[in-house]
Structure 1
Amino acid sequence: MSGTLIETLNWWAVERAEVPALVVGSEQVTYAQLRAWSESAAQWLASLGVEPGDRVGVMAGNSLQWVILSQAAMLTGAILAPVNPRFTFSEASYLLVERYRAKVIFHDEERSELVAKLIDQMPGGKAVDLSALDSLRNVVPAVPTHTHGIGLDTELVIIPTSGSTGRPKGVVLSHRTVSGYIADSCLARPGAFAAPRILLFAPLCTSAGYVVLTQYLAYGGTVFLEQAFDAEVALDKIVTQRISTMMGTPIFFERMAACEGFRDADLSSLYYCLVGGARVARTLLEAWSHKGVLLRQLYGQTEVGGQATFNTDQASITHPEKCGRGSIYTRIAVIDEHGEFCPPHTPGQIVVKGPGTMVRYWDDPEATAVTIVDGWVRTGDLGVLDEQGLLTMLDRIKDIIISGGLNISAAEVERVIAEYPGVQEVAVIAALDDNFGETPLAIVHGLHSGHIPELLQHCTTHLSSYKVPRYMVCIPEPLPRLATGKIAKPLLREQFAEAHLNLPRIR
């Protein structure tokens, strides 16, 4: 592969000039308009002092302007550095100021005050409202943007991910990484990417948002971008806009299946649906199958580009609980605690090697060396392969809670709670939740239950709202321990398996 994603954008700007590339609410932008607007925005970025390699931060909800900024940053050779718009000041400051050292931070109106506080910590830094891009929408660049220094190994984006350390890391993807991921996915599923119409509601700050957006623009598809997920709206869009492609965690498909109009909805346009992030119940697969829609279970994480494998057509029928066997250029394997490859039916850590795997963790060579070993990304997830190489994801070795499609590091929540005066021990595990699939449950030793309101306020100050535990319980005895001295979370998960039924929901 010799071309960058810029060449892809240039191709579709001519080949599908009048075809809608993006539809956001009542607005739409064709491929020709996307190219022109992005180029004008890129030249404006350069006038602000943005140079190749600079980090361009963005803290905003999904929008048309967000997408234009991402394309403009690519054209300048800058590195896009998005963070979750729901981050608190301390969370955003850690990444954008301390780690990334962003030159400029773009924001929407809702985040203007928070970003202004961030800029106070950044000598020479700039804060820019995304709405400033609107004035460039119909500006025709006088000359083409200079992109000669941008190659396949130019770093494109840093996507934050939460891990077992309790502090988010930045996954760096390049043109080569994202282009390789796009090409591999297309070859592995011919027919799925011919003029696709995709409904996308994942936050653009995640791989499920940014990488998938870039993927389907590279296929020349039409992306229907939602600011947030609404089951009724999503179901209506599938029917009225003849959506062909959609992906998300099981909770989203469960909510749509629970809609009153699901039974009579015409879903015949849906050709390619992927579901992942948690194990999929057979009842959910059957509910969609009865509507003629095959849900293909996938496996992936940000470090491998987002999606490493998805189930094949046949296996989605015969083995719906499995996640596929890799792709044409992507290999999936399982290793034991010594790093040796496991035979079929032997559980171990899932490892991935392929064109879509990350370049590195931003400014963290030690974590990079631990994660990428001999070209294989060690995922921190437990799985098993069968004789055909089909993967079954068994559990998350990394302590991650997936709530409404967003990853939450249990260690991060534990770190914040442990900072509260009087807390002697804390463990955070996943509790079942009807709205989000999973939600954090905090088990605290050293406090009386009367301190929960103050502890909750402490969490709200330092954690995004989706990370704040919806269940808290204070226990008088120390937390159980394994022989290694680690907190016995398997025992706690068993003990609090029905916490959503037995404990009061505190928010």
Structure 2
Amino acid sequence: MSGTLIETFNWWAVERADVPALVVGDEQVSYAQLRAWSEAAAEWLVDQGVERGDRVGVMAGNSLLWVVLSQAAMLAGAILAPVNPRFTFSEASYLLVDRYRAKAIFHDDERAELVGKIGDQIPGARVFDLAELARLRHTPPRGRLATDDIPLDTELVIIPTSGSTGRPKGVVLSHRTMSGYVADSCLARPGAFSAARILLFAPLCTSAGYVVLMQYLAYGGTVFLEQAFDAERALDTIVTQRISTMMGTPIFFERMAACEGFRDADLSSLYYCLVGGARVSRQLLETWLEKGVLLRQLYGQTEVGGQATFNTDQASITHPEKCGRGSIYTRVAVIDERGEFCPPNTPGQIVIKGPGTMVRYWDDPEATAATVVDGWVRTGDLGVLDEQGLLTMLDRIKDIIISGGLNISAAEVERVISEYPGVHEVAVIAAHDDNFGETPLAIIHGPQAGDIPELLQHCSTHLSSYKVPRYMVCTAEPLPRLATGKIAKPQLREQYADAHLRLPRIR
């Protein structure tokens, strides 16, 4: 694919003019309506002083207006800079102020005060309510917006991701990256994207939200966008709206399967279901297979555009622990500590090379150079390939906890806890959680059990609520260490494998 996403969406605005592009609750917009509304919003952005290359921040929950803003920024040649709406002031300001220097920042009602304070820290920045865009819904565009000269390598979006450093990094994706990702996925799975009707509930500030949204709009599909996941509502939407595509972590499929109406639900429309973030259990696989739905394991991360592999139909049944192989133009390999490619069945670091890989980390050339080597993205995850090239992900070298589909950097939580007076050392690992799959567990050397309430308050001040540990253990003994001097997290994971059963839940 050699065109920008703008050209793709222009095509569908004519070809599928009256087909719903987005359905959000009781509202829906067709492809032609979305194009006209977005163009009017883009012209308004330019009138407000937004220029090409400026960062347009947004801190808001999933909504129709969020999508319109994303399209408007694209048409204006600006770079969308979303942040998680659940971020605290310190988390959000680090990205929007210290890193991106956003020119304009949009918010919803719930985040108005917080975003206003952030905007005050950026000279020349302007803060807007997303509701400003609602009044442009029926405003005819003036037709003065020139988009034909927007180059294919124009940077499109900065998606924040947490890694081993404990601070979010901004993954930059361009029109070329996104267009290549869209084409590669489509060619690798013919039939999966024709007139797709996708149920999307991932936060739009993540690759699982934004990239998937752009992907299915680029296919001319209909996106049913939810503000958050609700098992009963999701099941009802699948049945009544004849959803064909859905993706998420195993916990979401487990919660739907636990619904009272699951047994009698007509799920025959579901054609393409992808599951990532954790292994699919045999029990979960068989539960959905009994309903005629195959759950296909995937592997990916924001730095490679989102999804990098998906399991084959047969291997999804016989080997659900495997993540499949890359697409037609996406290569997957495993390297050793010297950077040499490993033979089959030899564990090593997973590396990815393909059209969907990131352009760079925003304003971080050192991290970019360390991550993208000879065109290969070094994922930081441990895996192994078999003789057929099927990938099995073995461990998260980057130490990421996935809670309800959201990534939590253990290092970030550790950094915040270590700033509390009296903490000598801390290790954060994943504990099982019935609702979210995983949740943070902090093992802390220094403070006493009586300090836990204040520790929690400290964490809540500097971390989003989903990052705050639900379990804390204060120990007078130093934490175990490996021969390298690092804290022995494998030992701690084994020691606290049943923490959810024997430790009190503190929040």
TM range (shorter): over 0.9
Q: Which residue of 2 aligns with 1:185?
A: 185
Instruction: Encode CA deviations 1:346-398: one digit per residue, 9 max, x unaligned.
Output: 01100000000000000000000000001000001111111000011111111
CA contact (8 A) 1:160 1:170 kept: yes
* Correspondence list, 1:51-450, <5 A: 51-450=51-450
Please give the TM-score of this superposition, normalised by the length of structure 2. 0.99
Which amino acid is the alignment partner of residue 396 of structure 1?
Answer: R
CA displacement at 1:144 relative to structure 2: 4.5
Partner of 2:170: helix, strand, or coil? strand
Residue-by-residue CA offset, 1:323-359 (whole Å, 9 max, x unaligned): 1111100000000111110011101100000000000
How many Å separate the matches in 2 of 1:317 and 1:408? 30
Q: Aligned partners of 1:472 and 1:198: how far apart in 2?
A: 39
What CA distance in whole angstroms lies between the structure 2 residues aligned with 1:480 and 1:57? 42
Cα pair 1:399 1:410 within 8 Å, conserved: yes
Matches of 2:11 and 2:195, distance apart in 1: 14
Q: Is the 8 A contact 1:39 1:144 kept in 2?
A: no
Cα distance between partner residues in 2 of 1:207 and 1:34? 21
Partner residue, 2:38: 38
Contact residue 297 and residue 321 of structure 2 kept, 8 A: yes
Distance 1:319 1:497 in 2: 24
CA distance in 2, matches of 1:263, 1:418: 48
Give, in angstroms, the shift of residue 38 of structure 1: 0.2
Once the two structures are TM-superposed, the CA of residue 322 in structure 1 deviates from its matched residue by 1.1
Count of aligned pairs: 507
Say if 1:277 and 1:402, in contact at 8 Å, map to a contact too.
yes
Q: Point out where structure 1 has 5 or more consecutive residues left out of the alignment.
A: none
Q: Which amino acid aligns with 2:194?
A: A
Q: Deviations over 1:202-260 (max 9, x none)?
A: 00000000000000000000000000000000000000000000000011000000101
In 1: Cα distance, 2:165 partner to 2:48 partner: 36
Name the amino acid aligned to 2:163. Answer: G
Residue 307 of structure 1 aligns to a residue whose secondary structure is strand
Contact 1:456/1:468 (<8 A) preserved: yes
Distance 2:388 2:206 in 1: 31
| 2:55–2:100 Cα contact (<8 Å) kept | yes
Residue type at the aligned position of 1:332: V
The unaligned stretches of length 5 or more in structure 2 are: none
1:419 deviates by 0.3
Residue deviations 1:53-111 (CA, integer Å, cap 9, x gap): 00000000000000000000000110000000000000000000000000010000000
Cα displacement string for residues 129-185 of structure 1 (whole angstroms, at most 9, x for unaligned residues): 001101000011122421133111000000000000000000000000011000000
- Equivalent-residue separation in structure 2 for 1:425 and 1:31 (angstroms): 54
Distance 2:141 2:35 in 1: 11
Q: In the alignment, residue 7 of structure 2 is paired with which amino acid?
A: E
Q: Which residue of 2 is the match for residue 464 of structure 1?
A: 464
Aligned partners of 1:299 and 1:310 also within 8 Å: yes
Q: Aligned AA for 1:446?
A: G
Q: Which amino acid aligns with 2:376?
A: W
The code of the aligned residue for 2:142 comes to A
Amino acid at match of 1:482: L
The SS at the match of 2:14 is helix
2:285–2:317 CA contact under 8 A, matched in 1: no
Contact 1:244–1:272 (8 Å) recurs in 2: yes
RMSD between aligned residues: 0.6
Cα deviation digits, residues 460-487 of structure 1 (max 9, x gap): 0000000000000100101111111100
Question: SS at 2:238's partner residue?
Answer: helix
* In structure 2, C-alpha distance between the alignment counterparts of 1:101 and 1:501, rounded to whole Å: 45
Residue-by-residue CA offset, 1:29-61 (whole Å, 9 max, x unaligned): 000000000000000000010000000000000
Matched, 1:485 2:494: no
SS of 2:306 mapped into structure 1: coil
Q: Distance in 2 between matches of 1:387 and 1:119?
A: 53
For 1:348, the aligned partner's letter is G
Cα displacement (A) at 1:17: 0.4
**1:261: Cα distance to partner?**
0.5
SS at match of 2:332: strand
Contact map agreement 1:274 1:296 (CA 8 A) in 2: yes
SS, match of residue 381 in structure 1:
strand
Partner of 1:23: 23
Q: Using the alignment, how far apart are the partners of 1:365 and 1:279 within structure 2?
A: 34
3-state DSSP of counterpart to 1:253: helix
Q: d(CA) in 1 for partners of 2:117 and 2:329?
A: 45
What is the CA deviation profile of residues 299-341 of structure 1, one whole-angstrom value per residue up to 9, with x for unaligned ones? 0000000000101122222322211111100000000111110
TM-score (norm 1): 0.99
Query: How many angstroms apart in 1 are the aligned matches of 2:412 and 2:203?
Result: 20
| d(CA) in 2 for partners of 1:470, 1:356 | 36
Matched-pair contact (CA < 8 Å) for 2:384–2:391: yes
- Partner residue in 1 for 2:47: 47
> How far apart in 2 are the matches of 1:418 and 1:84?
23
Residue 4 of structure 2: aligned partner: 4
Shift of 1:120: 1.5
| Cα distance between partner residues in 2 of 1:492 and 1:313 | 36
**Counterpart Cα distance in 1 of 2:142 and 2:412:** 48
Partner Cα distance (1:356, 1:111) in 2: 32
The one-letter amino acid of 1:216's match is: Y
